[in-house]
Amino acid sequence: MQVAPSVYFYPFTSMMENNCNTIIIDGPEKVIIDPGHKHLWPDLKKAIEADSLRVEDISLALHTHCHPDHIEAGEILELEYGATQAMSTIEAEFLDGPGREFFPWMGLDYPKGSISRTLNEGPLGLGDKTVNLYLAPGHTPGSLCLHWPEAKVLITGDVLFAHSVGRTDFPGGSHQDLAASIEKLAQLPDVEMILPGHGPAVIGAAKVSANYQAVKAYF
């Protein structure tokens, strides 16, 4: 569903299994953020196409972090549709090391395809748009959040949710780093919508600021 001009949000709502929310930023360079689990891709593809978006046009699959419930379908985007897979440089190194273990733990094969583009903090040009990337460690060592000031949208992966924050008890997690990351995100101007990696969106400037107040209780 479209939540802002050029921004589409696909919340995962089933109580029966876990998957992440997916976001698409539409434009001359279409980016899918966190494509989720592979076996759920056909459902997601249907939802995307129902919004009159062509999955064949997606050129970049950007992963907020390397957990299997966010990246597993990246191989489909790459191998079937020719998209490039990207994550932060720090996260790609983590995935190549301890992060590999998440797949066997979840009974999954390590994905085919490759993270052929690594990203650092700073502006990222997407065709006619520029989004700002922020490193936000804590849930994982190299989690990325995306801020698109024009749309006043902040995409937070598993760093920050509606009234909750990301787990820090997985390998590579750090409660202290998560607190600092959320403090950093809270300073960003021009955020009227938080699109998190799980659960509902936070919509409206007042709700965004109330959400930062609410999650302070976790630290």
Residue with tokens 């699959």: 61
Tokens of 72: 């597993």
Backbone φ and ψ for 6, nearest 5 degrees, come out as 70, 5
CB of 124 to Zn ion, least distance (A): 21
Helix 175-186 to helix 205-215 angle (10° resolution) is 150
Q: Give 125's contacts (C-beta < 8 A, 6+ positions apart).
A: none
Minimum distance from residue 19 beta carbon to Zn ion (Å): 11
* 158 counts as binding Zn ion under rule CB under 5 A: yes
d(CA 118, CA 19): 24
When the beta carbons of 153 and 159 are compared against Zn ion, the nearer one is 159
- State the number of binding residues for Zn ion (CB under 5 A): 2
By CB under 5 A, tell whether 37 contacts Zn ion.
no
Q: Which stretch binds Zn ion (CB under 5 A): 1-9, 97-105, 150-158, 203-211?
A: 150-158
Closer of 30 and 67 to Zn ion (Cβ):
67
Q: Which of 87, 41, 84 is CA-nearest to residue 64?
A: 87
Distance CA 91, CA 172 (A): 10
Query: Is residue 30 at the binding interface for Zn ion, with CB under 5 A as the rule?
Result: no
Least spacing, CB of residue 102 vs Zn ion, in Å: 9
Q: Which stretch, 99-107, 129-137, 142-150, 154-162, contacts Zn ion (CB under 5 A)?
A: 154-162
Contact flag: residue 67 with Zn ion (CB under 5 A): yes
Q: How far is the CB of 201 from Zn ion (least distance, A)?
A: 17
Q: Which sign does the torsion angle of CA 150, 155, 161, 165 carry? A: negative
Residues at the contact surface with Zn ion, assessed by CB under 5 A: 67, 158
